[in-house]
Structure 1
Amino acid sequence: MYRLGITPWERYGAVAGAQLGALLDREAETRSAGTGRALDIGCGRGQFTPELARRGWEAVGVDIVPEAIEAARSKEPAEATYVVSDATDLASANLGTFDLFIDIGCFQGLGKDQQAAEGRGVTALAAREATLLMLAFGPSRYRRLVEGVSQAEVEAAFPEWELLEVEDAATDGLGWPMNRTSPKWYRLRRPTR
């Protein structure tokens, strides 16, 4: 899709970015240690990873598409790190542990087995009390066009995590059929054990 210049998921960037900023502010305020390490799963061309770095997180973006990672590396800020890695095999990339994970549109495009694999990988890389912020379209009759997941599917992939909140995501600027998918922000926390 990158080679063809067809990247409809990037159109949602401005709207998602504004909401992400508010969510990141909340995370920084509620963490006793402040910011830490953050992983942007399925970062594409680095649309959201720089925002993590600007807000003081040690930001790492991963994507399976080498061309997307090269494009991300060419952007600012230089403080962000980008790695070619599969969201369904995160542990093999030897990335270390993270305090925050963001997934904006990656999880929803995976099959059930792949979703479970992403969940296992995120869990393996999660520091104590890590948080996951996920933006995903909801299931709809347009699922074949724009994908989407239910709350139950998110919870099934992250059985060791506590679902803290589910918030409606803004649909401003989304064209049809994406504006009919009821996008949600999911906030999950890995409990201290």
Structure 2
Amino acid sequence: MNLGYRLAYRLGFTPWERAGRRTFSAQLAALLDGVAPPAAGAKALDLGCGTGDHSIQLGIRGWSVTAIDAVPLAIERARAKLPIAGADVRFVLGDVTNLPAYVDSGYTLAIDVGCFHGLSDDQRTAYGNGLGAVTEPGAQLLMFSFSPGHRGPLPRGASRGDVEQALGGWTVIGDDAMDTSEASGILAMAKPRFFRLVRD
């Protein structure tokens, strides 16, 4: 998927960025409202951050954010959005399947808005292992995912079982269908969900 994303950013075809801002940002914000406000210096991780809109929102909420993506142009555009008053955000070019090589540890919140659901099985396992290594017990993960399906070049999606298998040290505490009443046809047909997990 990485080559496809690189090409998409070069061509300016990034509908997931637009959907993230317009379609489900309110639902993600509501889920974040349910997370306890961060203590001073509390650390959050944005996995597959794209151009950083969600990372910046986390920073504005008071989190110290590290945001990672494998697409150089996405990270370049994300960095161009800083500085923003009140947002402590660091954008890192790196691989979510090898997190300890790119980020430090001690994170108590992670978000994934459309990254995991495009990974292969082996990549998902590596993602889960790395995420466990850099987060604290009790850390929370909010994950957006298409439901499983064959969609050509689009992400294959992930079921709750897929998430539980790859993140063995985490417990799913929420599995919520996304409100697609204002979504485009393709997004609505993908039956997206938000999973909420807590690290054991």
TM-score by length of 1: 0.91
Structure 1 vs Structure 2: percent identity of aligned residues?
40
- Matched position secondary structure for 1:19: helix
1:23 and 2:23 matched: no
The answer to whether the 8 A contact 1:162-1:189 is kept is yes
Q: State the alpha-carbon separation in 2 of the partners of residues 6 and 101 from structure 1.
A: 26
Whichever residue aligns with residue 119 of structure 1, its letter is G
Residue 62 (structure 1) aligned to one of 59, 65, 68: 68
> For the residues of structure 2 that align with 1:136 and 1:19, how far apart are their CA atoms?
13
1:119, 1:25 → 2: CA distance? 25
2:55 paired residue among 49, 57, 62: 49
CA 1:126–1:67: 2 relative to 1, 3 Å: same
Q: Which ranges in structure 1 are unaligned for 5 or more consecutive residues?
A: none
- Which AA in structure 2 matches 1:3? R
**RMSD over equivalenced CA pairs, Å:** 1.8
Instruction: From 120, 134, 137, give the equivalent of 1:125.
Output: 134
In structure 1, distance between residues paired with 2:88 and 2:140: 21
Residues 75-86 of structure 1: pairs in structure 2 closer than 5 A: 75-76=81-82, 77=84, 79-86=88-95
Q: Is the 8 A contact 1:11 1:174 kept in 2?
A: no
Shift of 1:16: 2.1
1:110 aligns with 2:116: no
| 1:35–1:140 distance in 2 versus 1, CA, 3 Å | farther
Contact 2:69 2:75 (8 Å CA) reproduced: yes
Query: Which residue in the other structure is 1:38 paired with?
Result: 44
Q: 1:11, 1:100 → 2: CA distance?
A: 24
1:11 Cα deviation from its structure 2 partner: 2.5
State the shift of 1:59 in Å.
1.3
Residue 175 (structure 2) pairs with residue 166 (structure 1): yes
The answer on 1:93 being equivalent to 2:102 is yes
Q: 2: CA distance between counterparts of 1:128 and 1:15?
A: 32
How many residue pairs are counted as aligned between the two chains? Answer: 189
Q: What is the CA–CA distance in structure 1 between the aligned matches of 2:75 and 2:154, rounded to whole Å? A: 25
SS, match of residue 66 in structure 2: strand
Query: Contact (CA 8 Å) 2:68, 2:95: kept in 1 or not?
Result: yes
Counterpart position of 2:4: none
Deviating more after overlay: 114-123 vs 144-153: 144-153
Tell me, in whole angstroms, the C-alpha distance in 2 between the residues paired with 1:93 and 1:115: 17
Deviates more, 1:97-106 or 1:177-186: 177-186
Question: Does structure 2 retain, via aligned residues, the 8 Å contact 1:140–1:180?
Answer: no
Q: Distance in 2 between matches of 1:35 and 1:143?
A: 42
Contact 1:131–1:187 (Cα < 8 Å) also in 2 = yes
Q: How far is the alpha carbon of 1:39 from its aligned partner?
A: 0.4
Q: Is the 8 Å Cα contact of residues 50 and 80 (structure 1) preserved in structure 2?
A: yes
| Residue equivalent to 1:8 | 15
Displacement of 1:170: 1.8
Match of 1:181 in 2: 190
